Amino acid sequence: MDTLPFLKGFELTDIVAWRGKQSVDCRRFLGDVARLAERMPDRAHVFNLCDNRYRFLVGFAAALVRGQVNLLPPSQAPQLLQNIARRYSDVYALVDNDNRPADIDVLRYPENSKPELTSPPVPCFSSAQVAAVTFTSGSTGEPKANVKTWVSLVTGADMARTRFLSALPSRAAIVGTVPPQHMYGLETTILLPMQAGLAVHDGRPFYPEDVRIALEQVPAPRILITTPLHIRACVTERTALPEVEFMVSATAPLSHDLAQQAEDMFSTRVLEIYGCTEAGSIASRRTIEGEWWRTYDGMSLYHQNNRCFVQGPQLSEAVELGDLIQLRNACEFSLHGRTTDLINIAGKRASLNDLNHKLNEIEGVRDGVFFMPDEIPGKVTRLMAFVVAPTLTVQEILGELRQYIDSAFLPRPLYRVDSLPRTETGKLPRAQLRHLAARLETSGDKAESA
């Protein structure tokens, strides 16, 4: 059976990671992986919840060494973890922070103070081994599992390397502001560097000043893996970033103007990746060059019955895309908004049906609906909600919702109303909701929403 190595392009003395300013070479990394693998309990599934990117990386590799599947939840919300854990009864959690998911066994990441002098060989894994399961919100209320085999992840990393790294003069260092548990972060800050001989910084800088410091801790050439939110923050602050070879943005659309400002201010190139959790990265573009995206080599898109699908060598079957897409040819396309059920707030994705379902399950809610207002460029658009619940206060409804949904989707504002403008067939046309929103906003009736 064919196997594929965890690392490609590394000598034992090459740098795999930067822990702050401190380098970790390949020998040390392999020792850390082997030692953690020995400590892992004999289970089939592990929630890899490590915040620190190096610990996540070691945990990810160690799980594979033990034949365990990395479960990667979109957040660490307790209800979400328990919901997933019900389906993987033997799951335990690898953690490096103080979060203690209730009712789930925990292995705290053991920092290894004494590196070993000899190092184990680079581990290789069977192509078909399930390396990770990522989760997306389904429309039924249950998180949907997306299974990633080792070969699919390696193939994705190879395509990204071909696209982004062929022109790089030497081994680069990657700094990422996105979590490794997210498919975009996993592909770009874990798999790409390990499969392309690059080093990765262990932090997850958040504020502009954090980004600057993390970038300064690694040598050039530097690559920044980030989002439109962070790029906008750094541009707004005019952060004095060190030289960055290129930035990659994903999770939400990046405007042409912002990309141009960032390119000018930081003397860099701003590239964007388009993808989804189910298929991983699909295509890229340099934002300032226009609206057309080019698929990774080997991937292609097609329409069928007004739905758009992507296919590629790493996908066992075609994956439907949640965006309205115009094809110039099978490998070039432009984006024209989301199909209606799926929404995206700062890179977090949810199904409106699912959110509505959860809202209406709250005891005391007679009727309720979420509404995504029209987007205003440059601002994060938030959901609002209209709820018929005579016996509940707004705070009570929000308190219930908070237990089940990510805070990014909490309605802002939440309006209590007497009834929803349903049509005779029970539908809620978007135009009606937009009208209702406008009326409530201008009425200035803050008592209802606060």
Partner 1 sequence: MSKVSTLEDEVAQLIVETLNLEIDPSEIEPEAPLFREGLGLDSIDALELALALSKRYGFQLRSDDKNNRQIFSSLRALSNHVEANRVKNS
> Would you tell me which residues interact with partner 1 (CB under 8 A)?
203, 205-210, 213, 229-230, 233, 236-237, 345-346, 380, 382, 398-399, 402, 406-408, 410, 412-413, 446, 449-450
* Three-state SS letters, the chain: CCEEECCCCCCCCCEEEEECCEEEEHHHHHHHHHHHHHHCCCCCEEEECCCCHHHHHHHHHHHHHCCCEEEECCCCCHHHHHHHHCCCCCCEEEECCCCCCCCCEEEECCCCCCCCCCCCCCCEEECCCEEEEEEEECCCCCEEEEEEEHHHHHHHHHHHHHHHCCCCCCCCEEEECCCCCCHHHHHHHHHHHHHHCCEEECCCCCCHHHHHHHHHCCCCCEEEEECHHHHHHHHHHCCCCCCCCEEEECCCCCCHHHHHHHHHHHCCEEEEEEEECCCEEEEEEEHHHCCCEEECCCCEEEEECCEEEEECCCCCCCEECCEEEEEEECCEEEEEEECCCEEEECCEEEEHHHHHHHHHHCCCCCEEEEECCCCCCCCCCCCEEEEECCCCCHHHHHHHHHHHCCHHHCCCCEEECCCCCCCCCCCCCHHHHHHHHHHHHHHCCHHHHC
**Closest to partner 1 by CB, 220 or 380:** 380
**Closest to partner 1 by CB, 31 or 413:** 413
Q: How far is the CB of 34 from partner 1 (least distance, A)?
A: 29
**Closest to partner 1 by CB, 156 or 208:** 208
Q: How far is the CB of 74 from partner 1 (least distance, A)?
A: 13
**Closest to partner 1 by CB, 326 or 407:** 407
Q: How far is the CB of 445 from partner 1 (least distance, A)?
A: 10
Q: How far is the CB of 239 from partner 1 (least distance, A)?
A: 9
Q: How far is the CB of 147 from partner 1 (least distance, A)?
A: 28
**Closest to partner 1 by CB, 267 or 443:** 443
- Compute the distance between CA of residue 325 and CA of residue 309 in angstroms, rounded to an integer: 10
**Closest to partner 1 by CB, 238 or 427:** 238
Assess contact for 162 and 195: CB atoms under 8 A.
Answer: no
Q: How far is the CB of 61 from partner 1 (least distance, A)?
A: 25
Surface-to-core class of residue 163, CB atoms within 10 Å of its CB (0-12 exposed, 13-18 middle, 19+ buried): middle
Q: How far is the CB of 50 from partner 1 (least distance, A)?
A: 16
Q: How far is the CB of 289 from partner 1 (least distance, A)?
A: 27
**Closest to partner 1 by CB, 388 or 408:** 408
Q: How far is the CB of 264 from partner 1 (least distance, A)?
A: 19
The first and second tokens of residue 271, run together, are: 């590239």
**Closest to partner 1 by CB, 74 or 203:** 203
**Closest to partner 1 by CB, 157 or 397:** 397
Q: How far is the CB of 382 from partner 1 (least distance, A)?
A: 8
Phi, psi for residue 443 in degrees, rounded to 5: -70, -20
**Closest to partner 1 by CB, 144 or 382:** 382
